[in-house]
Chains A and B, each alone.
Chain A
Amino acid sequence: MASTTADDAGSGRLAGATVTMRSGAKNIAYQPATLNPTPSKRYYLYLMLPAIIILAAISIYPFLWLIYMSLHKVDIGGAGDVWNNFKNWSRLARDSKFQDGWWLLIKYSAMCMLLEVGLGVLLAVILNNSRFEKMLVTIFLMPMMMAPVIAGLVWYYLYNGTFGWYHWLLQSAGILGETSILGDTSTAMIGIVIVDVWQWTPLIILIVLAGLKRVPRDQLEANMVDGAGPFRNFLQISLPNLYPFLLIAILLRFMDNFRFIDAVLVLTGGGPANSTKILPTYLFDVSFQFFKLGRGAAIALTLLVVTIILGLILVRLFDSPAGKAGQTSAEN
């Protein structure tokens, strides 16, 4: 692409003929002189504008509102917002549910991720060597297509202490007592983690499979010539090549755990005794059950900041080999 973009037709030809040389590096900016030079930036700007305006209206404007709300006592009835001297914020420091919420969210995400990544990598490695890879992956994908609420409802039914099949299964196997898995403070968290693992392990499988397809074959063969078996081959060659993929998978899942609480809302709603009240659920309660929108805004801001930091790390990863080698693998 032309680094020198002309703004009007006249200078386009001139720019095309320029050959720039920087000291040391050969940097040739060549552009054939055409009747239609590179369209001016303004043309592209006009194309871009509608999307940018819509996006600004539904992201920047609400963001500013969020900051404003976090500094006021927001009254939904229309009585006007009252400045309250950072009370929303100072309250967070004393709010044990808020701190527990963060702790539970991290615990929940970490548990989900450990199980999902472990299972996902194992299954991807197996599937990669399987004849039925295509068919099996397609079947495994099914849970991802389900709306998280519906998944939550189905699992709620399966977990139910009086008529749930999974509860019956666990009880018959002697693992669980009379109380259902969601009814006990010590097991409720495991219950919601299992649902997440059920629904989202396929995503990890997909990502790791894409990564495994891109492990350089020559490296694997060279290692085998050096006497490595399949196991050592996996540890020494495949795994290091998979790291960027795994990192992407982990970050995506982390952010999705922050993003979606649909299943948790249906399964436990944060109970029993707040044992599954992860921060987004708490935020939901504060904002839309008690309608304390000001305090909700302060909590939302903390959640946003952490997600943005995670997002920054993820965007760095987009420049990693995971996203780039796409074309070469298509030919193999």
Chain B
Amino acid sequence: MTQIDNIPKLKSIDDFAAFRDLLFREGVLAPGRKRIRVCCGTGCRANQSLTLVEQLRKEAGKNEIELEIVETGCQGLCQKGPVMKIEPHGYFYQRVKKENVNEILSTTYLANAPVRHLLYKGSFLDKPVEMMEDVPFYKKQMRIALRHNGIVDPTNIYHYIASGGYRATEKIFSSMSPEQVIEEIRKANLRGRGGAGFPAGVKWAHTRRAPGVIKMVIANGDEGDPGAFMDRSIMEGDPHSLLEGMLICAFAIDARYGFIYVRHEYPLAVKNLRIAIEQAEKIGLLGKNIFGTGFDFTVNIREGAGAFICGEATALVASIEGRRGFPHARPPRVSEPGGGPWGYPANLNNVETYACVPPIIEKGADWFLGIGTENSPGTKVFALTGKVKNTGLVEVPMGITLREIIFDIGGGIIGGRKFKAVQTGGPSGGCIPEKYLDLPVDFDSLIKVRSIMGSGGMVVMDEDNCMVDIAKFFLSFTQAESCGKCPPCRIGTYQMLQILEKIASGKGEEGDIERLERLGKLVKRGSLCGLGQSAPNPVLTTIQYFREEYEEHIRDKYCRAKVCNLGVFTIDREECILCGLCKQACAFDAVKETRRSFFIDRDYCTKCKACYNVCPVNAVKIRRLYERLEEELKIPSDQVEIIERRRKMTLKDVLDSRPYEIVTIQRGRTISDAVKLMSEKNVSGLFVVDEHNKLVSIFTERDIVRCVFNNTPTDGTIEHLAVRDIATFDPSTEVSSAISIASRKKIRHLPVVEGDTIIGMITFRDLVSYLLPEICYMAETMY
């Protein structure tokens, strides 16, 4: 068999065709053989798929089964990893462990039966699915960009050739002119898969027309969007399709130098790309004089160093040159002289775009146009993540609805919770609410709902996700990743983030939402590059579709998803099992214990959610401020407001609520004078003042009782009677604290004094009658 470490150099197109026939004759990847394709993408590697491969090889050798193990790239269903496809039976196994190896070999290869417990099951009660094609996750998919992912070994160029790779290269070199190639791509209306959706054919033609002899081809693999990993999967799992796409582009625009810009976070992608480039150079598909046609094309890898902005075309070019990744104003575009690396015009496309090129050339533009929608033909790879049951990489025809992707392919929301929103396009995109679930997914319809296709991240959120928090998350990402060159982006995103943090921490004010909207529009209009121009999108779309959540945060200080540290914490006594974990968890001693129950002291509570998280029976509830009054006492919310307002009222408000008179008496007057005055004015207490009208004491009905009991002569002065320390109250004292002080001191008259000035007298009865309406109301509704 042809060995991979001894790759022949092919000198002409005929040699290549003959070589492919040789591979077929030798049966490379031929159907019908005993073969296991084990996913060795980053996701499955994290679940120990490499030890699984080792074990499989060892055991197969021991049992003398002639079995080919193919270490493929990402097969998509990362969540159920490690996954594998069994041939020739076609069984699909998921969550395979090292211990299952012997079972697979004996049951499947000796008895030809599937290992039942490794088959895919939608849920515990569902029937297991035997074949890969029948798994709902794969059923609706259509693979063009990922056509070889999960089928070939990315480190083996023979696999790629044997499964139809480099046929397009053969076609262009033997029968097509560069103009024809561009025309084909233009006709197929292949739109850039990196986000903007600019037609690739137009870009190619533009680059070809650019003056100058030296041109370049750049693949953008700086996939910085959190929640997106389609480029990584292609570079890891099928690097040759990227190389072939770049080669076709180079041929079409007459470029000699190619660059692949890869994130440093993707070490496996870099490794596999290096191997692929080396093998392609050995066989003569890259380098000098490709297939004897006189065409030269070399590809180099450039690694990023952790800067999101380098995904922007002009910043990427700066980074290739070894400079800071600052974008610059366009024109010149990258495809124009002065725009590309070192000033040479270059064609820059996303990795996925290049991967779509070979099938279009091979099968023709009409075939491609038959897939997808009118303005967005073809397929798109999405990284379906978040709160769906089946997370992973899916490739679907354009025009499929969001509902199909999330509920049919993704299997719906985890735990049967309620769908809230789906975020597309990463930090530049927007959140799409439930009402647009039946929206067909293509470039234009997503823009209509103010989101974007972006690179294809699709993060599903359920009712446990707070939209303010999500907006804050995306903005803090773009704010941190802003390169700092232009002020609208540098300062604008920072200010927006400050407002969002204010809202999320319960300090939001009326007008904050409008401020955010205004700032967002400003940042969009004023920023230099795509990062700033799209950074406010997540905030603006969440405000548009989930404005009530923002208002709730600002007005009610409440977060319905219970993500932000807001709301009132209470313990439901009926649900509480008195385990005391909440008391242990609280760092601020806010959880108090009584003999039969626990309760949370709102004065001490910092809303850290420690008790909420620790409670084993979910008895700690987070409520809206007045929710309890509304739900349990059935007090309408407008009445709750009145009660709350009155609770916060001060003694001044009580005095102002009715007409009153300040009745004073000089301290030298007699008791009978005082009694006479009280009777005349119909009051129960007097202010006793000195010569300067300064308050000395008070004289109340209780003093009269004492006089009668002690037989005090009524012509004596009141001075010695009334000499005692009296409690005075400031007019700003709250009614509630005045009541508690008065009842503790057992006093019935509350002199209200501001400094030396007497403001008025409030009796305990005044307070009661002031609060009476609420008490009556509550009593009425309770019984």
A and B from one assembly? no
